[in-house]
């Protein structure tokens, strides 16, 4: 069964992020007996904006990129979600990512809806000036949608706090006064929250600890493999190593490393700063990005992009636990294979909610103009991650569901309840 491709079964592969997101929602709707009207509302984003983003290159010529901002749902509060810059961004991907944000916020119990944005561009080929001009133009194009009460962007793949500062500035200049609450994940100097930079990684660590505890395993000497050595994966490697786990494999776009005895993230960081990639780190075996998913380890953390575990490699995963730090790394059908093989999958909408949770704290601090200590941020984050894990784990145990089904049940259920409570206009 594991080697059978979807084509063998006579239907197209459910491999795109949007198909995965819809299949997950449909399955949850069926399991929980969701009212058909609400199900249909939740299948489509509330609004999708496509924008053309022209900007000047350093040589004086003009480049035009396609940009998007999608609000999947705003029933529980303002739309919330990151902005990504990547050459493969398209409307369907942004729709999927926005839908996942809706469930993620609802599971974490924070009063946001789901949104996502993106620009189809490879930011690595742009100079800093070009990146700033593109960001400011994209921000201007999506201006009618964003604002602290309506939609609050944040960093995602290839975007960072500097880019958030440019968006905050562009919005504020247009308003005529400073509006720190329009974006999260911005520098502390302009109203960012302490602890936001490492929040997704820290949340992933809390999730792994909760999982190990629930499964009766100790933290010490658990072996971990992490795909994606960027903002999320790189810091998660450091945190897990510091907590006593053995990080046996890491990778970035250029390739990966394996060492059974464990790798030292600090030494890898030093190497990556000089060499530009983790590859070539001395004393470790070079592996490819796809090898990384198949290494012998207890916990596999896909922290890069969506759709990396598919029907083609799901039967080769050796980890007992998969903790999804990336959004959508496992396709719908691959998830079934992992489930049949008894692999415990902590789904993205639960596992990587640390980022949006501290984004919520940042927004709250901005609105109150009253700022918290890093300890307070981390402690409140831990409480929310632990509570969410237990709510999902209890439902999964009670109803004999996978963690993903239970997470969707809770997320979709809370959004559906909000819809039904508010009623349908007019």
Q: Which is nearer to ligand GLU, 191 or 337 (CB)?
A: 191
Q: Which is nearer to ligand GLU, 108 or 279 (CB)?
A: 108
* Closest CB 349 distance from ligand GLU, rounded Å: 9
Report how far residue 94's alpha carbon sits from residue 120's, in angstroms, rounded to the nearest whole number: 11
Report how far residue 29's alpha carbon sits from residue 36's, in angstroms, rounded to the nearest whole number: 8
Q: Which is nearer to ligand GLU, 184 or 201 (CB)?
A: 184
Contact 52, 66 (CB under 8 A): yes
Q: Which is nearer to ligand GLU, 359 or 388 (CB)?
A: 359
* Closest CB 342 distance from ligand GLU, rounded Å: 28
116 given a catalytic annotation: yes
Closest residue to ligand GLU using C-beta atoms: 82
Strand partners, 71: 47, 115
* Closest CB 168 distance from ligand GLU, rounded Å: 14
Q: One of 116, 186, 231, 272 is an active-site residue; which one? A: 116
- Residues of the shown chain interacting with ligand GLU in the complex, contacts defined by CB under 6 A: 80-82, 154, 156, 184-185, 327, 352, 355-356, 359
Q: Which is nearer to ligand GLU, 227 or 327 (CB)?
A: 327
Contact 256, 286 (CB under 8 A): yes
Q: Which of 383, 379, 363 is nearest to 371 (CA)?
A: 363
Q: Which of 395, 320, 296, 416 is nearest to 350 (CA)?
A: 395
Q: Which of 120, 181, 242, 133 is nearest to 368 (CA)?
A: 181
Q: What phi and psi, each to the nearest 5 degrees, are found at residue 249? A: -150, 140
* Closest CB 18 distance from ligand GLU, rounded Å: 16
Q: Which is nearer to ligand GLU, 312 or 414 (CB)?
A: 414
3-class SS of residue 112: coil
* Closest CB 82 distance from ligand GLU, rounded Å: 3
Report how far residue 206's alpha carbon sits from residue 314's, in angstroms, rounded to the nearest whole number: 25
Q: Which is nearer to ligand GLU, 298 or 348 (CB)?
A: 348
Q: What is the C-alpha radius of gyration for the chain, rounded to an integer number of angstroms?
A: 21
* Closest CB 394 distance from ligand GLU, rounded Å: 23
* Closest CB 38 distance from ligand GLU, rounded Å: 24
Report how far residue 139's alpha carbon sits from residue 144's, in angstroms, rounded to the nearest whole number: 10
Whole-angstrom CA distances from 258 to 178, 201, 261, 263, 282 are: 47, 21, 9, 8, 11
Using DSSP bridges, classify how beta strands 79-85 and 113-119 pair: parallel, antiparallel or unpaired: parallel
Q: What phi and psi, each to the nearest 5 degrees, are found at residue 146? A: -95, 165
Using DSSP bridges, classify how beta strands 255-258 and 223-227 pair: parallel, antiparallel or unpaired: unpaired
Which residues are identified as catalytic? Answer: 116
């Amino acid at each position: 069964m594991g080697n059978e491709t979807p084509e063998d079964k006579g239907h197209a592969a459910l491999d795109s992020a949007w198909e995965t997101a819809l299949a997950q929602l449909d399955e949850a709707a069926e399991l929980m007996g969701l009212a058909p009207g609400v199900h249909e509302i939740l299948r489509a984003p509330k609004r999708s904006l496509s924008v053309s983003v022209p900007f000047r290159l350093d040589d004086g010529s003009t480049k035009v990129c396609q940009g998007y901002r999608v609000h999947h749902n705003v029933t529980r509060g303002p739309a919330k979600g990151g902005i990504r810059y990547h050459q493969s961004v398209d409307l369907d991907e942004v729709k999927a990512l926005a839908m996942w944000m809706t469930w993620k916020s609802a599971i974490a119990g924070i009063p946001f809806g789901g949104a996502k944005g993106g620009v189809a561009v490879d930011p690595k080929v742009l100079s800093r000036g070009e990146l700033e001009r593109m960001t400011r133009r994209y921000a201007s194009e999506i201006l009618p949608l964003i604002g602290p009460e309506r939609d609050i962007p944040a960093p995602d793949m290839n975007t960072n706090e500097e880019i958030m500062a440019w968006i905050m500035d562009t919005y504020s200049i247009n308003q005529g006064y400073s509006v720190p609450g329009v974006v999260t994940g911005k520098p502390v100097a302009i109203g960012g929250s302490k602890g936001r930079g490492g929040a997704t990684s820290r949340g992933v660590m809390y999730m792994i600890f909760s999982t190990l505890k629930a499964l009766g395993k100790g933290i010490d000497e658990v072996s971990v493999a992490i795909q994606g050595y960027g903002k999320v994966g790189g810091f998660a490697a450091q945190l897990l190593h510091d907590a006593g786990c053995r990080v046996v494999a890491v990778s970035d776009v250029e390739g990966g490393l394996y060492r059974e005895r464990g790798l030292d993230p600090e030494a890898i960081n030093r190497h990556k700063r000089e060499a530009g990639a983790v590859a070539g780190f001395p004393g470790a075996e070079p592996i490819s990005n796809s090898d990384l998913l198949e290494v012998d380890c207890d916990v596999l953390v896909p922290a890069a992009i969506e759709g990396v575990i598919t029907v083609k490699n799901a039967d080769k995963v050796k980890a007992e636990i998969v903790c999804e730090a990336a959004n959508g790394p496992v396709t719908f059908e691959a998830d079934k294979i992992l489930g049949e093989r008894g692999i415990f999958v902590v789904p993205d909408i639960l596992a990587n909610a640390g980022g949006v949770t501290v984004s919520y704290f940042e927004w709250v601090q901005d609105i109150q103009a009253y700022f918290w200590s890093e300890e307070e941020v981390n402690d409140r984050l831990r409480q929310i991650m632990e509570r969410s894990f237990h709510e999902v784990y209890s439902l999964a145990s009670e109803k004999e569901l996978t963690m993903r089904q239970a997470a969707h049940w809770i997320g979709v259920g809370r959004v559906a309840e909000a819809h039904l409570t508010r009623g349908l206009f007019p």
